[in-house]
Amino acid sequence: MKDSMSNYDKVMSRRQEILDKALGIDFDAYELEGIAFDYEKMMEECAYPLEEAIKVQTENGVGNTPLVELKNITSLARKYAPKGKGARIFVKDESCNVSGSFKERRASMSAYHAKKKGYKGLIAATSGNFGAAVAAQATKQGLNCIVVQECYDSKQVGQPEIIEKARKCEALGAEVIQTTVGPELFFESLSVLDETGYFNASLYTPFSIAGVETLGYEIARECQERFNKYPEAVICTNAGGGNLTGTARGLKKTGAKETRIIGASVNLNGLHMASDHDFNRKSFTTGHTGFGIPFATYPDRSDVLRSAARPLRYVDEYYLVEQGEVFYITEMLAQLEGYERGPAGNTSLAVAFKLAQTMNEDEIIVVNEMEYTGAGKHINPQLSFARKNGIEIKFGNPKKESINGKNIILPRSPKDIDIDAVDLNHLRNSYIKTMLNTYSRKASELSIVEKEYLVNELNIDMDKVEELLKNFE
Q: How far apart are CA 61 and CA 345, in angstroms?
A: 20
Q: Characterize the bridge pairing of strands 260-266 and 175-180.
A: unpaired
What is the predicted pLDDT for the residue at 237? 97
240 and 287 together in one domain: yes
Q: How far apart are CA 39 and CA 19, in angstroms?
A: 19
Q: How far apart are CA 367 and CA 346, in angstroms?
A: 9
What is the predicted pLDDT for the residue at 185? 85
What is the predicted pLDDT for the residue at 1? 41
Task: Flag whether 74 is in a domain.
Answer: yes
How many beta carbons lie within 10 A of that of residue 429, not counting itself? Answer: 17
What is the predicted pLDDT for the residue at 376? 77
389 and 451 together in one domain: no
Task: Flag whether 19 is in a domain.
Answer: no
298 and 407 together in one domain: yes
Residue count (the chain) = 473
238 and 318 together in one domain: yes
Residue 74 class from Cβ within 10 Å (0-12 exposed, 13-18 middle, 19+ buried)? buried
Ramachandran quadrant class, 47 (left: phi over 0; alpha: psi -120 to 50; beta: rest):
beta
What is the predicted pLDDT for the residue at 3? 54
386 and 447 together in one domain: no
What is the predicted pLDDT for the residue at 273? 80
360 and 243 together in one domain: yes
What is the predicted pLDDT for the residue at 9? 86
CATH number at residue 349: 3.40.50.1100
381 and 441 together in one domain: no
Residue 50 class from Cβ within 10 Å (0-12 exposed, 13-18 middle, 19+ buried)? middle
What is the predicted pLDDT for the residue at 377? 81
Inter-residue contact 46 to 52 (CB < 8 Å)? no
Task: Flag whether 393 is in a domain.
Answer: yes
Task: Flag whether 40 is in a domain.
Answer: no
What is the predicted pLDDT for the residue at 343? 87
Contacts of 27 (CB under 8 A, 6+ apart): 37, 42, 304, 305, 306
90: nearest Cα among 219, 215, 218, 212 = 219
251: nearest Cα among 274, 271, 231, 280 = 231
Task: Flag whether 361 is in a domain.
Answer: yes
429 and 347 together in one domain: no
Q: Compute CA distances 254 → 104, 224, 258, 419, 456, whole Å.
A: 21, 10, 11, 30, 20
Task: Flag whether 279 is in a domain.
Answer: yes
Inter-residue contact 211 to 246 (CB < 8 Å)? yes
DSSP string computed for 97-143? STTSSTHHHHHHHHHHHHHHTT-SEEEEE-SSHHHHHHHHHHHHHT-
402 and 433 together in one domain: no
353 and 431 together in one domain: no
259 and 352 together in one domain: yes
**What does pTM read for this prediction?**
0.96
Enter the DSSP assignment of 146.
Answer: E
150: nearest Cα among 130, 171, 125 = 125
365 and 437 together in one domain: no
- What is the chain's pLDDT, residue by residue, as a tens digit (473 residues)? 445 556 888 888 898 899 999 999 999 999 999 999 999 999 999 999 999 999 999 999 999 999 999 999 999 999 999 999 999 999 999 999 999 999 999 999 999 999 999 999 999 998 788 999 999 999 999 999 999 998 888 999 988 888 888 999 999 999 999 998 877 888 999 999 999 999 999 999 999 999 999 999 999 999 999 999 999 999 999 999 999 999 999 999 999 999 999 999 999 999 888 888 888 989 888 899 999 999 999 999 999 999 999 999 999 999 999 999 999 999 999 999 999 998 889 999 999 999 999 999 999 999 999 999 887 788 889 999 999 999 999 999 999 999 999 999 999 999 999 999 999 999 999 999 999 999 999 999 999 999 999 999 999 999 999 999 999 98
312-348 exposure pattern, b = at least 16 Cβ within 10 A, e = fewer = bbbbebbbbbbbbbbbbbbebbbebbebbbbbbbbbb
Contacts of 128 (CB under 8 A, 6+ apart): 149, 161, 162, 165, 285, 286
Phi, psi of 177 (to 5 degrees): -110, 120
Q: How far apart are CA 308 and CA 324, in angstroms?
A: 32
What is the predicted pLDDT for the residue at 186? 86
Q: How far apart are CA 311 and CA 248, in angstroms?
A: 9
Residue 360 class from Cβ within 10 Å (0-12 exposed, 13-18 middle, 19+ buried)? middle
Inter-residue contact 285 to 258 (CB < 8 Å)? no
The domain in which residue 467 lies consists of 424-472
When divided into structural domains, the chain yields a total of 2
